[in-house]
Amino acid sequence: MCFLLAWSAFFIACEKKPQPLTGVQVRAITRELVRAVKEASGGRAETGMFPERQPVPPQSRGSDTVASPPADLIFVTLPRMDNGREDGAALKAILDEMDRVAELHHLTRAQRKGAPGILRFDFFFAGQRTQTVELVTQIVGNGSGQARANGLPKLAIIIDDLGYDREAAETLFQIPYPLTVSVLPHLTLSSIIAEEAFRRGYQVLLHMPVESNGGEKAESVELRAGMPSEDAVRMLQGMLGTVPQAIGVNNHQGSLGTADATLMNAIMPALQERGLFFVDSRTTSASVAFASARRAGVPVASRDVFLDDVQDAAAIRHQLDLAVRDAKLHGQAIAIGHPHPATLKVLQDYLPKIESEGVEIMFVSKLVR
C-alpha cells in the first residue's frame, strides 16, 4: 500500500502544467505560421509580424511566478480575385494550414471580435497567448489615376492622432473608404496601428509633432522652433522609424514650429530625400511649411477644413459640407478630422451620400503637387 501511495504521488507530481513557451519558441512557431500562410496562398498573401509591445503580467503557477513573453502579432493581407472579390478559397487554405501548424505545437485557436473585412483570433499554449492573428481584406480605393482625369471634384480626408487608442483605430477601420490615416510617433501602439492600417489598405502618414504656441500639451518628442538643424533632422528620422509605412507627413499642432523658416527649411530636404510628401495642417496663418516644401522639391498640399473642432454630429456634418463645397468650387479639397466617436459615425453615415453627389473620395497623395 505504501508503495502504491508513493507511486501515485510521484505520478501526480509529473503531471504539472507545462512551462510557458519562451520568446524564442514563440517566434519560431510564428515563423512557421507565416511560412504556412505564404505557401497556402501561393505567395499572394502579404504578411507582417513583430512582438506585441504591451507588457504581459507574470502568471502565477503554484508557488512559482513565471513571466510569459509577449505574444507575436501576425498581420495577413488576403489576396483578391481578378473581379476584386475576396478569395474565399485562399482564406480557407490559409486557415487550414495555420491550424495544421498549431496542432503540431499543441496550440488552440480562439476567435476574437472582428470587423468588416477583418478576421481576428488568438493562439494559446496551455493558457498562454502566443500569437494574435489579423487577416484583413484590403479596401478597394477609388483614388485612381482615372478618377483624376474624369473631372469629378475630389475630396481627401485625413484622420489624425492615431496611435493612442486601439479601439478608435478599429472603429475607423470599419469605414470602407480610401481614408488617409496619420499616426503619431513613439507611442506604444504607433507601429501596430500603422501596420494594421497599411495591411487594411489605408494610406499612412506620419503625424509629426511640432511645437505649438497655443497652450496645447507638448508631446514628449517634438520639433521645436530654434533647435539646431541637424537635431531636427535626426529627430524626424527617429519619428519615421516608428511609423515606417508612412508615405507622407503632416504636422501635429505646430503653430510655433511651422512658422519657423529655419526649422522648416531643415526638415523638408530630409523628406525630399525619402520621397515623402507633406501636407500642411495649417494650424497657423503664419506657417511657412508650404513654401519651404516647394523650395525643397517636396510634393505638398494644405488643409482646407477641420472637421471636428466641435465634437458634435451636426457641427461635423456642417464642416464636411464645407469641405464638399470647397471640392466642388476648386476641384479638390482636404479635410482633417480625428478618431472621435462622433466624427467616425458621421463619416460612416455621410460618405455614401457625398459619393452619390459626384464627389470622389481619394487618398491625399492624389492631391499633392
What is the pTM assigned to this prediction?
A: 0.73
Q: Which amino acid, 242?
A: T
CB under 8 Å to 276, separation ≥6 — which residues? 246, 247, 248, 249, 298
Which among 272, 199, 265, 186 has a CA at the least distance from the CA of 232? 265
Exposed e or buried b for every residue in 105-116, given b needs 16+ CB within 10 A? bebeeeeeeebe
E strand intervals along 108-191: 108-111, 118-125, 128-137, 154-162, 180-183
Residue-level pLDDT, tens digit, the chain, 369 residues: 554 555 555 445 455 667 899 999 999 999 999 999 999 999 888 887 776 654 444 444 444 445 678 899 888 888 777 666 778 899 999 999 999 999 999 999 999 876 666 788 999 999 999 999 988 877 655 433 334 456 899 999 999 999 998 889 988 988 888 999 999 999 989 998 998 888 888 899 999 999 998 767 778 899 999 999 999 999 999 999 999 999 999 999 999 999 999 999 999 999 999 999 999 999 999 999 999 999 999 999 999 999 999 999 999 999 999 999 999 999 999 999 999 999 999 999 999 999 999 999 999 999 999
Owner of C-alpha cell 488643409: 303
Q: Which amino acid, 119?
A: L
User: Do the Cβ atoms of 71 and 132 come closer than 8 Å?
Assistant: yes
Distance between CA atoms of 157 and 178, rounded to whole angstroms? 8
CB under 8 Å to 123, separation ≥6 — which residues? 33, 102, 107, 108, 109, 110, 129, 130, 131, 132, 133
Cα diameter, the chain: 95
